[in-house]
Structure 1
Amino acid sequence: MNKKISELEPSTSRKRPRDRESEPELEDDVENSRSLSLEENFTFSDTLMALRMMRAQFPRIEKVSVEPFVLQSQLYSSIKDRTQVDREIESLRRDKVLRMFKLNTGQDDHAIMFTDDYLNQVERVLRRMEEKKQTDLTVFEWFKMYVIQSKLDISIGHQELCSLLSLGGKVKEENISQLINAGLLIRQLIDENMYWFSIPNIGSVLKGLSQGRKELLSFLSRRKYKEMMMATLEKKRLRLSPLDMRFHLRDLIGSGHLKTVQTPSGLIVRVAKD
């Protein structure tokens, strides 16, 4: 880094529009949450409510077309009972409300995206390919219709993938390559016959996620007591990540790298002891 991390600037990130399909009462809650600080909007009792709030607060990222997603670690930061979080995520996943993705960050990271947002992301891929005049995009329709709708896990085997796609027509190896090149599937390194489902266009965001984690931890570690008031820290802007401070704080608190301490003056964010 050319400049010191202590020169982090105030955040100017913009928030994404709210989910317009929410119930009126929920829309009001989501709208109100956007004007609250992280400290005022830090804990939740319901996983779906937390997901909707965090979706609404997802930072707008310039030049990157990616729908809002929430990290599982972020939910852990805001709901004390992790067993409850896992149980409710599983229920929502089976009900096809959301999908989970194993992220290629070198850590055990999982992203959660509402199914409607994920389908919008797939549509963006199709539109981009159509604009490039690419032909024979039929496999993407098969993927949406037969694979996404019936396979809800984070991974799928080659044989099962071909079997589901064949419900639409004759499957060729080049069709699988199309899905991989489009960013919809990632071949697993430990087993080339297995694929992770993935979120297209997320590569640069994941790079920023990793860099932002390091930058924030380094920034706090350089402070005398390795801590800062949450209200002050939230106003800082990271230089190496397109994601905002609120996104990173929730992530690092939920993963145990940072912890919060309640004081008469408010919440303090502190680097967790080794």
Structure 2
Amino acid sequence: MENIPESSSKGTKRRRDEEESGDGKTPSLELDLTFSDTLVALRIMRAQFPHIPKVSVEPFMLKSQLYSSVKDRTLVDRELETLRRDKVLRVFKLNTGQDDHAVMFLDDYINQIDRAVKRIEGEKGGENEVFGWFKTHVLDSKLETGIEHQELCSLLSLGGKVKDSHISLLINAGIITRQLIDPNMYWFAIPSIGSLLKGLSQGRKEVISLLSRRRYKEMMLASLEKKRLRMSPLDMRFHLRDLIGSGHLRTDQTPSGLIIRVSKD
């Protein structure tokens, strides 16, 4: 992770020390729910991304999770934009909801692309060159979440002669996806993330359902975060940050600790 700038916040080192000390257990979400700035939040959440057997996806975060962790949403948007323009990270539009966006550090995203390339190596022998063109010419100059077909071809052509089969290869590898409303536009995508996005949608419903069955539609955070989800490979911590940030859940401080409640419609 060479391109991730060091934060000057002392809290980063303190939290990292807590994570690495003792029995290796992650600190309670109640002690680690809010952060002073976006980069600190991203780095901690990256470190806490759940280990998921049989799924080869680099850690990613959701914009909604940042909204739950850094209270000033305007600050989050501004700092995300700066980090994106500085090529520290990429932002991706997800198909799980109108406002759903994933965030991944650029180094991790390039590693994810390399994994996708290895997986299909040999299938299209001489055409795998397009992945190098994509990393060198497209990622370096196109920082937005989407790209138009003609612009994609123009940037790729800086590496060599572009064929339709090159574009198909990028789509099949999961690196770009066609936008449904405009077939001439593509979203940049995270390869191999499909099963996790399904789990994200199902896990959201499962957490809301779990709380909705309680008498007051609430539960102590300390108890809730110990629950295991049946429908999602992502852990409870991941989902709670997402649902709090998106406004589906809210937190209230009590003498006994933090309570998580279903937000009233």
Does structure 1 retain, via aligned residues, the 8 Å contact 2:178–2:185?
yes
Aligned partner letter, 1:101: F
- Superposition pairs of residues 1-274 of structure 1, within 5 angstroms: 23=6, 26=12, 29-33=15-19, 35-130=26-121, 132-136=122-126, 137-274=128-265
Q: Report the identity percentage.
A: 69
Tell me by how many angstroms 1:29 deviates.
3.1
Could you list the runs of 5+ residues in structure 2 that have no partner in the other structure?
A: 20-24
State the structure with bigger RCO (CA 8 A, min sep 6), 1 or 2: 1
**Contact 2:175/2:191 (CA < 8 Å) preserved in 1?**
yes
Instruction: For residues 180-233 of structure 1, give each alpha carbon's deviation from its aligned partner in whole angstroms, at most 9, with x where no partner exists.
Output: 010000100111110000000000000000000000000000000000000110
Q: SS of 2:39's equivalent?
A: helix
TM superposition score normalised by structure 1? 0.89
Q: Distance in 2 between matches of 1:176 and 1:217?
A: 40
CA contact (8 A) 2:52 2:234 kept: yes
Structure 1 residues not aligned, in runs of 5+: 1-18
Distance in 2 of aligned mates of 1:83 and 1:106: 21
For residue 260 of structure 1, give the secondary structure of its aligned residue in structure 2. Answer: strand
In 2, distance between residues paired with 1:259 and 1:152? 33
CA distance in 1, matches of 2:135, 2:216: 51
| C-alpha displacement of 1:31 | 4.3
In the TM superposition, what is the alpha-carbon distance from 1:28 to its structure 2 partner?
A: 5.4
Q: Deviations over 1:92-143 (max 9, x none)?
A: 000000000001114320000000000000110111122x453020111100
- The 1:106–1:29 alpha-carbon spacing in structure 2 relative to 1, beyond 3 Å, is closer
> Which stretch of the first structure deviates more once superposed, 34-43 or 69-78?
34-43
3-state SS of 2:125 partner: coil
Residues 174 and 32 (structure 1), Cα distance of their counterparts in 2 relative to 1, 3 Å cut: same
Q: Distance in 1 between the 2:173 and 2:65 partners?
A: 28
AA aligned opposite 1:32: E
Contact 1:30 1:52 in 2 (8 A): no
Letter aligned with residue 253 of structure 1: I
**What per-residue deviation string (whole Å, max 9, x for no partner) do you get for residues 219-268 of structure 1?**
00000000000011001110000000000000000000000001011100
Amino acid paired to 1:117: D
How many pairs align?
255
Letter in 1 for 2:224: L
CA distance in 2, matches of 1:99, 1:127: 22
1: distance between equivalents of 2:34 and 2:43?
13
C-alpha RMSD over aligned residues: 1.6
Task: Please say which of residues 146-155 and 30-39 is displaced more in the overlay.
Answer: 30-39
